[in-house]
Amino acid sequence: MESRGGRSIEVDFFRGIVLIVIVLDHIPGSALSHLMLHAYAFCDSAEVFVFLGGYASAAAYTAVLARRGRGAAQLRFVKRCGEIYRAYLLTALLTLVSGALLALFHLNPPMVALTGWPPFANRPLHEALDILVLRRQPYLSSVLPMYVIFALCVPLVVPLVRRSAGVALLLSVAIWAAARPLAVFFSIDDVGDWAFNPFAWQLMFVLGVVVRVRPVSDGFHASNAARWLLRVGVAAVLAFAVAKLFVLTQPLPGTLKQNLSVERVINFLAILCVTARLVRMGSVARLAQHLPAVVRVGRTGLVCFVTGTLVSLIVDTATPHAFHGVAGVLLALSGDLVAITAMLVIARGWSGWKQDASRTAVNGAGCG
């Protein structure tokens, strides 16, 4: 189902949900984060975010390609690369400034360490250079350098998928399988510097491109194979949930997420299988129509991602952590509510500003 302008309301809705979840997941004292995907699955919002990024990128590339040709489509993603890089620098700057202010006023010492401010304060020129060349990414900005690389690759990946989705997937799987040696070769294997190995995570991005460019046919959706696949997907989702909730209850090594481990991929594919059926039934579109504010967050993704950095830092710092029991849960829920409201307000404000700017530009052109 598509909304005005050819955008998928389901994709915008999922992106909005994921952006809000990312903010909550980065508030250490959040109560709602214990109910999010990572609590009952081996994957989390990161897989969804990257997959949807591939889907949306493929949709944008093919739309520009159809209207204005290959050159315009390629140029669009070169510019997009620059936009993401600038957003990365702004996110890094906001993170470091936040860390500096917290350190100055002796607030939230754990968050000060996470922001990367202490090493930056000791060696500002060296750390600034590392940030500029993507060797070092301050807290919460670490997913954006990966997107810079992906944006540059869109003009190569989408045409390949259009010619042969099978070849594209095989090549992507081969790169994913060799992700760790490739990361070591390019010196990005330190979890503290590159939280996401792009050679591994490109698999999620390519899967999103494939789903958009080569969607499953109506005939397959109506077949017995599709129904059996759905049953397997539901069983896998439940099995992974049981394992996460009752067997592997301790935090897993960070390298599994950094390098997109096989269990994360399988768990995500199972969830994707179930979600795809809900989308096809129209359930997600109906829900999205009742929650337009969330859809708006998804449509202002980059802005909400950058500002969400500040939201999570501010809410975590402002929420007292000395309370326990019912009082502690209520305070944590209050912080979550503030964070969610802030994201909805930011999206609404940015959308309104863009609409006003567009009207002003149109009126100015008309007067000219």
pLDDT in tens, 305-336: 999 999 999 999 988 876 788 888 999 999 99
Contact (Cβ atoms closer than 8 angstroms) between residue 331 and residue 325: no
**Encoded amino acid at 116, one letter:** G
- pLDDT > 70 in the chain, percent: 94
Q: Which residues, 6 or more positions from 260, have their beta carbon under 8 angstroms from its beta carbon?
A: 47, 176, 179, 197, 200, 201, 203, 204
pLDDT in tens, 260-270: 999 999 999 99
- Confidence (pLDDT) at 188: 75
Kindly state the average pLDDT of the residues 152-157.
96
Q: How far apart are CA 158 and CA 61, in angstroms?
A: 8
Computed on alpha carbons and rounded to an integer, the radius of gyration of the chain in Å comes to: 21
- Bridge partner list, 2: 8
- Confidence (pLDDT) at 194: 82
Q: Label residue 3 by pLDDT band (50, 70, 90).
A: very low
- Confidence (pLDDT) at 141: 85
The rounded mean pLDDT for the chain is: 91
pLDDT in tens, 89-124: 999 999 999 999 999 999 999 899 889 899 999 999
Name, of 30-34, 231-235, 298-302, the range with top average pLDDT. Answer: 231-235
- Confidence (pLDDT) at 159: 97
Q: Label residue 222 by pLDDT band (50, 70, 90).
A: confident
> What is the H or E stretch that residue 206 is in?
helix 198-213
